[in-house]
Amino acid sequence: MKFTKILAIILSITTGGYAYAESTKPNILVAYYSLTGKTEKTATEIANVSGGTLYKIQPDKSYPDNKKERRKVLEQEMEQNYLPPLKATNINPENYDIIFLGSPVWGNHISQPIKSFLSLYNLSGKTVIPFVTHSGGGRGQSFNDVAELCTNCIVDMDGWSSWGSGVGKKLTKWVNAQIQEIK
Ligand SMILES: Cc1cc2nc3c(=O)[nH]c(=O)nc-3n(C[C@H](O)[C@H](O)[C@H](O)COP(=O)(O)O)c2cc1C
């Protein structure tokens, strides 16, 4: 057989295989809320490793810059379990199969904007993988909050939790393990 013919066969097999792999590839969204940038760093790394679409969740009204004032507003929101309205975006999370969902830990729980996000969309049947950053108190109730608020979602309780952004080899390994599990 001529070399060119062998090459053509190899090419058709490989491109065919690639097309199949592309069509069955799950749609990944990396949605996150971050107040001071740590969860954003984690989210960016998760999107880089997973190839997912990065989606920044933002409250309509931003929180005060002044730390003392901000703390007061946040504590009030948490106490009243106020769900801040979110900025509209052109991404619809309901169009994704797998959602990495990131938040800072606030008072041992998931942040209020993430609660807004979960109340806004119908993510039933989707795989939701929580990731949180904290300042030493650990993940607290945050994964349970996601499981409770995300009705009929498949919540992966083996989520990511780190003091600060946690970006590094361990995070890369965790993202790859989550994706392998889904495949
Ligand atoms: C209102 C508020 C409550 C917080 N509560 C906790 C907590 O319960 N446990 C903890 O370890 N860190 C707590 N933190 C610290 C943040 O979780 C931590 O700094 C996180 O990495 C910040 O993420 P971000 O930069 O993405 O906003 C709190 C921060 C704020 C603003």
> What tens digit of pLDDT does each residue of 41-99 get?
999 999 999 999 999 999 999 999 999 999 999 999 999 999 999 999 999 999 999 99
- How many Å lie between the centroid of ligand 1 and the Cα of residue 172? 22
Q: How confident is the model at residue 17 (pLDDT cuts 50, 70, 90)?
A: very low
Q: Is 178 in the pocket of ligand 1 (CB under 6 A)?
A: no
Pick the CATH number of 26-182 from 3.40.50.1000, 3.40.50.360, 3.40.50.970, 3.30.1330.200: 3.40.50.360
Long-range contact pairs involving 15-20 (C-beta distance under 8 Å, separation at least 24): none
Answer yes or no: is the C-beta of 74 below 6 A from any ligand 1 atom.
Answer: yes
Q: Where are the domains of the chain?
A: 26-182
Which of 81, 105, 144, 163 to mutate to test ligand 1, by most ligand atoms within 8 A of the CB atom?
105
Percent of the chain whose pLDDT exceeds 90:
83
Rounded to whole angstroms, how far apart are CA atoms 143 and 183? 22
Is the pLDDT score of 12 beyond 60? no
| Average pLDDT along the chain | 89
- The pLDDT value given to residue 182: 77
Digit-coded pLDDT (tens) for 131-178: 999 999 999 999 999 999 998 999 999 999 999 999 999 999 999 999
- Tell how far the Cα of 134 is from the centroid of ligand 1, in angstroms: 5
- For residue 8, name the pLDDT band (cuts at 50, 70, 90): very low
Query: Tell me, what's the pLDDT at 24?
Result: 59
Ligand 1 neighbour 152 (Cβ under 6 A): no
What mean pLDDT do residues 7-15 have?
Answer: 44
**Which residues touch 38 (CB under 8 Å, ≥6 apart)?**
104, 133, 164, 165
123 Cβ inside 6 Å of ligand 1? no
